[in-house]
Copies of this chain bind each other. A is one copy, B any other.
Amino acid sequence: MHFNRLIKKYDLDAIFISGPGHGAPAILSQGYLEGTYSEVYPEKSEDPEGMHKFFKYFSFPGGTGSHATPEVPGSIHEGGELGYSISHAFGTVFDNPNLITVTMVGDGEAETGPLATAWHSTKFLNPICDGAVLPVLHLNGYKINNPTVLARITHKELEQLMLGYGWQPYFVEGDEVESMHQAMAATLEHCVQEIRKYQQQARDSGKPFRPRWPMVVLRTPKGWTGPRKLNDHYLSGFWRAHQVPITDVRTNPDDLKKLEDWMRSYEPDRLFGEKGRISPDLRDASCPKGDRRMSANPVANGGLLTKPLQMPNFRDYTIKVDKAGAVSAGSMANFAAFLRDIIKLNPTNFRLWGPDETGSNKLSLVYEAGKKVWMGEYFEEDSDGGNLSPFGRVMEMLSEHTCEGWMEGYVLSGRHGLFNSYEPFIHIIDSMVNQHCKWIEKCLEVEWRVKISSLNILLTSVVWRQDHNGFTHQDPGFLDVVANKSPEVVRIYLPPDGNCLLSTMDHCLRSSNYVNVVVADKQDHLQYLTMDEAETVAAIDLLLQHLPDLKIRCVNVVDMFKLIHHSDHPHGLEDDDWVSLFTADKPIIFNFHSYPWLVHRLTYKRPGSHNIHVRGYREKGNIDTPLELAIRNQTDRFSLAMDAIDRIPHLRDRGASVREKLKNQQQEAANEAYENGSDPEYLSEWKWPDKGT
Contact B164 A372 (CB under 8 A): no
Contact B113 A402 (CB under 8 A): yes
- With A384-B233, A480-B480, A484-B477 known to touch, is A376 a contact of B438 (CB < 8 Å)? no
Q: A111–B80 Cα gap in the complex (Å)? A: 24
Closest chain-B Cβ to A424's Cβ sits at a distance in Å of: 7
Query: Is A117 close to B, CB under 8 A?
Result: yes
Within 8 A of B (CB), among A610-638: 610, 619-620, 622-625, 628
Contact B619 A484 (CB under 8 A): yes
Most buried by B among A108, A116, A385: A116
Interface string of A597-614 (1 = CB under 8 A from B): 110111010000110000
Partner of A152, one of B112, B376, B475, B598: B376
Interface string of A552-587 (1 = CB under 8 A from B): 000000000000000000000000000000000000
Interface string of A663-676 (1 = CB under 8 A from B): 00000000001100
Copies in the complex: 2
Partner of A147, one of B382, B399, B428, B477: B382
Contact B63 A623 (CB under 8 A): yes
Contact B60 A623 (CB under 8 A): yes
Q: A360–B243 Cα gap in the complex (Å)? A: 12
Contact B166 A163 (CB under 8 A): no
Contact B623 A65 (CB under 8 A): yes
Most buried by B among A159, A359, A424, A430: A430
Closest chain-B Cβ to A614's Cβ sits at a distance in Å of: 9
Closest chain-B Cβ to A472's Cβ sits at a distance in Å of: 3
Query: Is A205 close to B, CB under 8 A?
Result: no
When distances are taken between beta carbons in the complex, the residues of chain B under 8 Å from A358 are 145
Query: Is A82 close to B, CB under 8 A?
Result: yes
When distances are taken between beta carbons in the complex, the residues of chain B under 8 Å from A154 are 377
Closest chain-B Cβ to A589's Cβ sits at a distance in Å of: 15
When distances are taken between beta carbons in the complex, the residues of chain B under 8 Å from A140 are none
Contact A113 B111 (CB under 8 A): no
Query: Is A19 close to B, CB under 8 A?
Result: no
Contact B376 A147 (CB under 8 A): yes
Binds B, one of A31-39, A172-180, A326-334, A462-470: A462-470
Query: Is A401 close to B, CB under 8 A?
Result: yes
Query: Is A78 close to B, CB under 8 A?
Result: yes
Within 8 A of B (CB), among A451-477: 467-473, 475, 477
When distances are taken between beta carbons in the complex, the residues of chain B under 8 Å from A397 are 111, 149
When distances are taken between beta carbons in the complex, the residues of chain B under 8 Å from A425 are 81, 431
Q: A624–B59 Cα gap in the complex (Å)? A: 9
- With A161-B164, A628-B62 known to touch, is A237 a contact of B381 (CB < 8 Å)? yes
Query: Is A595 close to B, CB under 8 A?
Result: yes
Q: A63–B623 Cα gap in the complex (Å)? A: 7
When distances are taken between beta carbons in the complex, the residues of chain B under 8 Å from A95 are none
Most buried by B among A118, A382, A620: A382
When distances are taken between beta carbons in the complex, the residues of chain B under 8 Å from A161 are 160-161, 163-165
Within 8 A of B (CB), among A157-195: 157-166
When distances are taken between beta carbons in the complex, the residues of chain B under 8 Å from A600 are 600-601, 604
For residue A160, which residue of chain B has the nearest CB? B164
Partner of A112, one of B113, B147, B430: B113
Contact B470 A65 (CB under 8 A): yes
When distances are taken between beta carbons in the complex, the residues of chain B under 8 Å from A73 are none
Q: A377–B424 Cα gap in the complex (Å)? A: 40
When distances are taken between beta carbons in the complex, the residues of chain B under 8 Å from A165 are 161, 164
Query: Is A310 close to B, CB under 8 A?
Result: no
- With A160-B160, A164-B163 known to touch, is A623 a contact of B59 (CB < 8 Å)? yes
When distances are taken between beta carbons in the complex, the residues of chain B under 8 Å from A63 are 623
Contact A359 B145 (CB under 8 A): yes
Closest chain-B Cβ to A481's Cβ sits at a distance in Å of: 6
Query: Is A234 close to B, CB under 8 A?
Result: yes
Query: Is A279 close to B, CB under 8 A?
Result: no
Query: Is A143 close to B, CB under 8 A?
Result: yes
Q: A609–B688 Cα gap in the complex (Å)? A: 39
When distances are taken between beta carbons in the complex, the residues of chain B under 8 Å from A80 are 469-473
When distances are taken between beta carbons in the complex, the residues of chain B under 8 Å from A60 are 623, 677
Contact A111 B116 (CB under 8 A): no
Q: A673–B604 Cα gap in the complex (Å)? A: 36
Contact B376 A149 (CB under 8 A): yes
Most buried by B among A164, A237, A598: A164
Contact A471 B376 (CB under 8 A): no
Query: Is A305 close to B, CB under 8 A?
Result: no
Query: Is A249 close to B, CB under 8 A?
Result: no
Interface string of A98-139 (1 = CB under 8 A from B): 000000000011011111111010010000000000000000
- With A145-B359, A398-B148, A480-B481 known to touch, is A62 a contact of B604 (CB < 8 Å)? no
Query: Is A486 close to B, CB under 8 A?
Result: yes
When distances are taken between beta carbons in the complex, the residues of chain B under 8 Å from A67 are 469-470, 472
For residue A378, which residue of chain B has the nearest CB? B152
Query: Is A483 close to B, CB under 8 A?
Result: yes
When distances are taken between beta carbons in the complex, the residues of chain B under 8 Å from A598 are 601
For residue A480, which residue of chain B has the nearest CB? B480
Q: A166–B161 Cα gap in the complex (Å)? A: 9
Contact A163 B152 (CB under 8 A): no
Known: A67-B472, A120-B149, A161-B163. 14 other contacts (CB 8 A): A59-B623, A62-B628, A64-B623, A80-B469, A80-B472, A83-B113, A113-B116, A146-B356, A160-B161, A428-B430, A430-B430, A435-B472, A441-B619, A604-B609
Ordered by A's residue number, 5 sampled pairs between the chains whose C-beta atoms are within 8 Å are A113-B399, A123-B152, A163-B164, A442-B622, A598-B601
- Chain A residues engaging chain B, CB cutoff 8 angstroms: 59-67, 69, 78, 80-83, 108-109, 111-118, 120, 123, 143-149, 152-154, 157-166, 233-234, 237-240, 356-360, 372, 374, 376-377, 379, 381-382, 384-388, 396-402, 424-425, 427-428, 430-431, 434-435, 438, 441-442, 467-473, 475, 477, 480-481, 483-486, 595, 597-598, 600-602, 604, 609-610, 619-620, 622-625, 628, 673-674, 677-678
The 5 closest A-B pairs by CB, nearest first: A161-B164, A80-B472, A113-B113, A152-B376, A160-B164
